[in-house]
Chains A and B, each alone.
Chain A
Amino acid sequence: MNTQALNINSSMNNCYIEIKVCMGTSGRASGGNDVLRAFKQYIQESGIEALIGRRCRYKKVGCRGFCSKDVLVDVIINGNKVTYQSVKPIMVERIVQEHIVNGTPVNEWLTKEDYESFHTKQHKIVLGPCGEIDPENIDDYLNMNGYKAARKAITQMSQDDVIKKVIMSGLRGRGGSGFLTGKKWEICKAQKETPKYIICNVGEVNRPLAEGNPHAIIEGLLIGGYAIGAQKGYIYIRERYHLSVERLRNAISQARDKGFIGKNIFDSDFNFDIEFSFGTEAFICGEETALMESIEGKRAMPRFRPPFPAQKGLWGKPTVINNAETLSNIPIIIGKGAKWFASIGTEESKGTKVFTLSGKVKNIGLVEIPMGMSLRDIVYGIGGGIAGNKALKAVQVGGPSGGLIPLSMIDMGLDYESLAKVGSIVGSGGMVVFDEDDCIVSVTKFFIEFLQRESCGKCTPCRIGTKRMLELLTKITDGRGEDSDLITLERLSSLMTSSSLCGLGRTAPNPFITSLSHFRDEYIAHIRDKKCPAGVCTALITFTIMEELCKGCTLCKKVCPAGAITGELKKPHKIDQNICIKCGACFKACKFKAIKKG
């Protein structure tokens, strides 16, 4: 103990200190591990821990959503919580000295209003415990009534009661087309064939759930398994998501130790076990029949439907597939009641939905909103508006096969029906914001390129359709587009939508259909004027130096990787268009705005 510690006022003797460090994927990416280590080190060195008799806890918590200000750290002293943002290990010593030892928080490093507005405008149900509890400690989950819902369902409710409650809540699948979860369970329960299976799909967007509150997923799986009469549950997850796998694996073994998984759960005659199935890097594995093929060890190609998985699924047995977000809602519905759940959201779309807000918005992060919240409230309220004071152009909702929603429709509410009306989907909940600097044609090409790569190739409309769409969009962005290309693209889109085997092919044209209907002028500019209004498509832009503004500082000449710029010091420079590779380095480097892009 050093002398500093001896100066700590005696009131600290009964003090309780808790330090929560955000350690989701993003928190760790920003250095969460180092920050936590630094806290432990300084607190030990300054003798606080010894003085207060180890009434000091360090917690790694899951993602609390506000990833743009990671690493986020809560310091809680005797119940008074403050949150620091963008914490680096180097800042830790001062926080410990000034705040924990002397009792004055370091105001300049605390979260600001944007953190408040980011959180207060959300409605966190499934994400609520993420960022509060230690995902690696089952006691934290039990302290917030964890596994009570499972106990209630298994010991006090019949299978039909559970299903009825889930139907009444109006919960719809959070991964794809939004089928009523309870209905799916009902169909599966009604099948005579045994054994039955329940699968939890942990997709990209579900990672924070698995990392922040894995027990909720397991409890949901347990309740679902009980309701349909399955004894085996699978967690389908990409092996690459190390942290999610690690935390789920840890949670399963803790639940097993407590007797929540295994034989005679809660002293009933219900047996249930959970196994991992490691998915691969293919996008198509999100489609439920393809996912089952992949678990069976085959190429992940979708099956014809009917029969539906609830009738004939994994190894031909009745199977329910829900994604992690859907299942995380289940314990809450059983615990708080179907009516309570149904009071959130809209008439047809109940509850909340998690979206990953990214792109050109100020506050990038993970958000949970009540269904029906307007896009404006999300982008400008929670997201804090567009970064760099640029103008919003469009928002892509629903992942790569979602639709582009233009600025003019920003007041629409987000729910299954409204999104379907504008040609988009809820999907797994990706949300990317584009600003005036983004070229819609190029963005559309990016999404189609992705879908073309990820098409499994089983059905012709999707396999060849995405390929041809990509070729035509490439032609347009390369400046070789013709008017007739748009007609071909439209025809291909409608063909794919109506005749593809699975959701991937049917929704793949969404980015094109929506972008053409809202941004036709951008397509026309590319095709007829051979111009890219946003200045993105390299084939259609030129960089020129405006002589009157050029000070001859030679900076552009220095950064040009192609050696296309010539000129003497203090005299206007020139770009040789034949050598220019249009990388934009000069444009970025010029301090006098003397370089014109267009």
Chain B
Amino acid sequence: MDKVLNKILNDYQKNKGNLIYLLQKIQDTYGYIPEDIVFWFSNRLNIPASKFYGIITFYPKFRLKPTGKNTITVCCGAACHIKGSDRILQEVRSILSLREGEDTTQNLSFTVQKATCIGACNIAPVVILNDQVYGDMDTEKVSKLIKGYEKKDEYTGFEY
């Protein structure tokens, strides 16, 4: 493990001590930012862990918890919103039985995210499932999408 971390440390120094860059590398490696890794860097760099946490919690892209195998993103931009993205998000959360404050299922199979606007407003509302974009969604379609996902029989999205 130290070998991987030392490489990240090297890259970090090459990048003018950019903490966002460092955190991104950690997240790319582990899929999220584990607490012990933050302390490892905090000790090596003599930067308080709180400073790392300040950045991690500021940017929505950083995660302190592992994500599910599949990621489902509901676009909640203005165009999607007025075409009912809220109801879709609710439906997704209810299908996956997510409790308030949770965004990853217990069995780590799905993580739910909200996106600001992905720029495909003509096919609003939009849902992105593992980098595939699906347009003109409604609660029925999204439910079929999630339930039928394991089978992966139908391809209708595009690579995001």
CA gap between A400 and B22 in the complex, in Å: 31
* Nearest chain A CB to B35 CB, angstrom units: 19
> What does the 1/0 interface line of A395-414 toward B look like (CB < 8 Å)?
01000100000000000000
Closest B residue to A447 by CB, please name it.
B78
| CB <8 Å contact, B122 and A443 | no
* Nearest chain B CB to A565 CB, angstrom units: 18
Given contacts A294-B20, A297-B18, A446-B81, contact A29 B59 (CB under 8 A): no
| CB <8 Å contact, A359 and B79 | yes
* Nearest chain B CB to A170 CB, angstrom units: 29
Task: Count A interface residues, CB 8 Å.
Answer: 44
- The interface stretch among A128-136, A158-166, A277-285, A548-556 is A277-285
* Nearest chain B CB to A403 CB, angstrom units: 14
CA gap between A256 and B78 in the complex, in Å: 39
Asked if A385 lies at the interface with its beta carbon under 8 angstroms from chain B, I say no
Which of B59, B123, B133, B158 makes the CB contact (< 8 A) with A282?
Answer: B59
Chain A residue numbers with a CB within 8 Å of B54 are 299
Which of B58, B79, B119 makes the CB contact (< 8 A) with A25?
Answer: B119
Do most interface residues of chain B lie in helix, strand or loop, or is the interface mixed? mixed
Q: What's the interface size class on B, roughly? A: 35 or more
**Tally of contacts, chain A with chain B, CB under 8 A:** 98
| CB <8 Å contact, B135 and A296 | no
Given contacts A30-B135, A280-B60, contact A430 B78 (CB under 8 A): yes
Chain B residue numbers with a CB within 8 Å of A434 are 82
From residue 116 to 153 of chain B, which have CB atoms closer than 8 A to chain A?
116-124, 126, 133, 135
Chain A residue numbers with a CB within 8 Å of B123 are 26, 29-30
* Nearest chain A CB to B160 CB, angstrom units: 7
| Max chain A C-beta neighbours (<10 A), residue from B18, B22, B120, B133 | B120
* Nearest chain A CB to B33 CB, angstrom units: 14
* Nearest chain B CB to A227 CB, angstrom units: 26
| CB <8 Å contact, A29 and B58 | no
| CB <8 Å contact, B61 and A281 | yes
| CB <8 Å contact, A432 and B82 | yes
Asked if A583 lies at the interface with its beta carbon under 8 angstroms from chain B, I say yes
From residue 551 to 598 of chain A, which have CB atoms closer than 8 A to chain B?
583
Question: Which residues in B have some Cβ–Cβ distance to A below 8 Å?
Answer: 16-22, 24, 54-55, 58-61, 78-79, 81-82, 87, 116-124, 126, 133, 135, 157-160
Cβ-closest 3 pairs across A and B: A297-B18, A67-B122, A358-B121
22 intermolecular pairs with C-beta atoms under 8 Å apart: A25-B118, A29-B120, A29-B123, A30-B122, A32-B158, A33-B158, A33-B159, A204-B117, A280-B60, A282-B58, A297-B16, A297-B19, A298-B19, A298-B55, A299-B54, A358-B79, A359-B79, A364-B79, A364-B121, A365-B122, A400-B78, A447-B78
